[in-house]
Amino acid sequence: MGSLSYVNKWMAVIFSDEKKWNLDGPDLNIKYWHDFRKEPRSFFSRQSGSGSMMVWVAFGFNGQVGLDFLDGRQNSPKYIETLENHLMPFAEYIG
């Protein structure tokens, strides 16, 4: 019975994180990310040669995964907005 209780506790845990992907990294390999659920977009490098994309992901014990592409930098207010718009609906969906 102890191990079943342990599993039930992990079923309530969600891991989430965001990652900034450089589109043209220091090795100058240009990468292109495309969400197949959306229309393709063109990405242009800035004059300094950089460009990036922010990706948010979450997953839970039951194997469900949440994924979204974020606009702009993630400061404190935008991070709270990300959690409200993406993590909370994901938590309700897998609950």
**Helix, strand, coil distribution of the chain in percent, nearest 5:** 30, 25, 45
pLDDT tens profile 12-67? 888 998 888 776 655 455 556 667 787 776 655 445 556 778 889 999 887 788 88
Whole-prediction pTM: 0.59
Per-residue pLDDT, averaged over 58-84, amounts to 86
> Which residues lie closer than 8 Å to 22 by C-beta, 6 or more apart?
31, 50, 51, 52
* Residue 32 burial (C-beta neighbours within 10 Å; 0-12, 13-18, 19+): exposed
Domain that holds residue 79: 3-92
- How many domains are contained in the chain? 1
pLDDT tens profile 5-24? 777 787 888 899 888 877 66
The CATH number linked to 46 is 3.30.420.10
